[in-house]
Amino acid sequence: MFKAPRGTADTLPDEQPYWRYIEEKALETCRLYGYSRISTPAFEEAGLFLRSVGEGTDIVNKEMYIFKDRSDNEMALRPEGTAPVCRAYLEHGMDNLPQPVKLFYFADIFRYERPQAGRYRQHHQFGCEAIGEQSPVLDAEVIHMALGFFGSLGLTDFSLQLNSIGCKQCRPGHLQKLKEYFEPLKGQLCDDCRVRLEKNPLRLLDCKKPSCQSAADLAPKSADYLCTECGQHFGSLKEYLAALNIRFVLNHRLVRGLDYYTKTVFEIQPADGGSQSALGGGGRYDDLIAMIGGKPVPGIGFAAGLERIVLNLKTQNIGVPPADRPAVYIACMGEDARVEAVKLAAALRSEAIASLISSGERSLKAQLRNANNAGVRYVAIIGGDEMKAGTAMVRNMETGEQQEMRPDELIAILKDAK
RNA sequence: GUGAGUGUGGCCCAGAGGCCUAAGGCGCCAGGUUGUGGCCCUGGAUAUCGAGGGUUCGAAUCCCUCCACUCACCCCA
């Protein structure tokens, strides 16, 4: 028996209402903030991610699905959504459009990880990117939008974690301070962190090991080493957030796992969060487009994990609208009646009335049971008598009342009911 | 990559060496009405007990190996 690959999942009909609900809320959120939809390929040249996400990151080092195609090109299934959108922005000359260019997407994301609750090898993200504008107004707007999105879903009890990690002007200074700070403490750091100390001391801050944590508690904070520009940017972002009544937790240890981030970084975490805490996250990436070969164009974005949203909707007991049910089930008895049933179904559907039709090979009783399970409001029964009269016996499944009527009468009733 | 737990019909699960040619519930199918659902009653189908090997007169039950799933660490959505 074949099974879905490890870390992937089939989303069965029962689950679909959650997904549809989330997509509708996302679409509405994007409409409110003026984002347009973009779709990009599921795979790209591997180099796109090597350059942007960064060669030292876990995503690139050990999680990327990377393969050579039959022409020996190195390709990768996208492990994140921002770089492909930026690639498309450049490739299609969107830097010539009025800036910022605001784009959103639904994308499946692939990372070769050990699966766990809320963590998959193929997961789905809703993301948005505002490219071409460096004002902190946009940072605030993206955060406001992210929170608004979660709020519109009915989710409560989540926190906004916020930090600024500076830019290429000020980050080296901070990294230097970090190195100086951690060097004498090397003895108490875990193996991973000793490597991080050399390659990317910033990432040392979010190690969860107790010994490293206590060392990191007093480490120099990036927010204290921002250059004038980054400091002003962060300062006015906080002012905008205050004006918008957005509360945040200043988290000096918030460091994101992708190298392209600059200045603002943030994550949204459910308060009662399990281990896979982040519902969504994002930040500014003012150097990303230059990294992948464009002129320097700033950007900021945000992405949310749809599987984790579903998880949280369930734990918070948030009901979602059920899937639509067809309005009518057409039951029939006998070969001749079946022909009439097929014609009636076609007539109903051409009037945009969702209809199910029975093959009529089972007993009427079984057909009714079927109709009941399908949740239809009406059953139209066609037997010998109705056939002669050119009618159907229409049964209201809620009241049990029945009435013989012509197809046009049935259509009229169903249209009223809508 | 590391650690722990779990694998019995479509789903939830009982079962702890012979009483298991595997129980129960949900679901499915059919009958109880000669043309009628939901409730109820009755009956039925569906399980190489994760796979392979071993111990034993005898294994779903004990041992070994493998696989898968789940959870946790790491990292993230």
**pLDDT tens-place values along chain A, 418 residues long:** 788 888 999 999 989 999 999 999 999 999 999 999 999 999 999 999 999 998 878 888 889 999 999 999 999 999 999 999 999 999 999 999 999 999 999 999 999 998 988 899 999 999 999 999 999 999 999 999 999 999 999 998 889 999 999 998 988 888 888 888 888 887 777 777 777 787 778 877 777 777 777 777 788 889 899 999 999 999 999 999 999 999 999 988 888 888 899 999 999 998 765 556 789 999 999 999 999 998 999 999 999 999 999 999 998 889 899 999 999 999 999 888 999 999 999 999 999 999 999 987 899 999 999 999 999 999 999 998 999 999 999 999 999 999 999 999 999 999 877 6
Question: Which residue approaches B36 most closely, CA to C1'?
Answer: A365
Whole-number distance in Å between A117 CA and B61 C1': 31
pLDDT score at A365: 93
**Residue A100 preceded by cis peptide, ω within 30:** yes
Cα four-point dihedral sign A279, A285, A288, A289: positive
Which of the nucleotides lies closest to A274 (Cα–C1')? B72
Whole-number distance in Å between A97 CA and B37 C1': 60
Whole-number distance in Å between A183 CA and B77 C1': 33
The answer to whether A29 and A236 are in contact (CB under 8 A) is: no
pLDDT score at A178: 86
Tally Cβ neighbours within 10 Å of residue A39. Answer: 11
Question: Which residue approaches B71 most closely, CA to C1'?
Answer: A116
Which of the nucleotides lies closest to A212 (Cα–C1')? B74
Q: How far apart are CA A30 and CA A260, in angstroms?
A: 24
The answer to whether A167 and A262 are in contact (CB under 8 A) is: yes
Q: How far apart are CA A405 and CA A394, in angstroms?
A: 7
Q: How far apart are CA A302 and CA A288, in angstroms?
A: 14
- Token pair 């579903």 is found at A310
Helix H or strand E segment including A278: none
Q: How far apart are CA A355 and CA A371, in angstroms?
A: 11
Burial class (CB in 10 A: 0-12, 13-18, 19+), A319: exposed
Which of the nucleotides lies closest to A308 (Cα–C1')? B77
Which of the nucleotides lies closest to A396 (Cα–C1')? B37
Q: How far apart are CA A103 and CA A30, in angstroms?
A: 9
Tokens of A217: 């508690």
Kindly give, in sequence order, each residue whose CB lies less than 8 Å from that of residue A309, ignoring residues fewer than 6 positions away: A22, A150, A153, A155, A279
What's phi and psi for A19, nearest 5 deg?
-65, -40
Whole-number distance in Å between A216 CA and B71 C1': 28
pLDDT score at A216: 78
Nucleotides of strand B under 7 angstroms from a protein beta carbon: 1-3, 27-38, 68-77
The answer to whether A252 and A223 are in contact (CB under 8 A) is: yes
Helix H or strand E segment including A381: strand A378-382
Q: How far apart are CA A148 and CA A145, in angstroms?
A: 5
Which of the nucleotides lies closest to A122 (Cα–C1')? B77
CA A304, A222, A182 angle in degrees (round to 5)? 110
Beta strands per DSSP E along A101-174:
101-110, 122-131, 158-164
Whole-number distance in Å between A117 CA and B17 C1': 37
pLDDT digits (tens, 9 = 90+) for A13-43: 989 999 999 999 999 999 999 999 999 999 9
Whole-number distance in Å between A316 CA and B42 C1': 42
Which of the nucleotides lies closest to A118 (Cα–C1')? B77
- Token pair 């109705």 is found at A386
pLDDT score at A404: 94
Whole-number distance in Å between A373 CA and B12 C1': 21
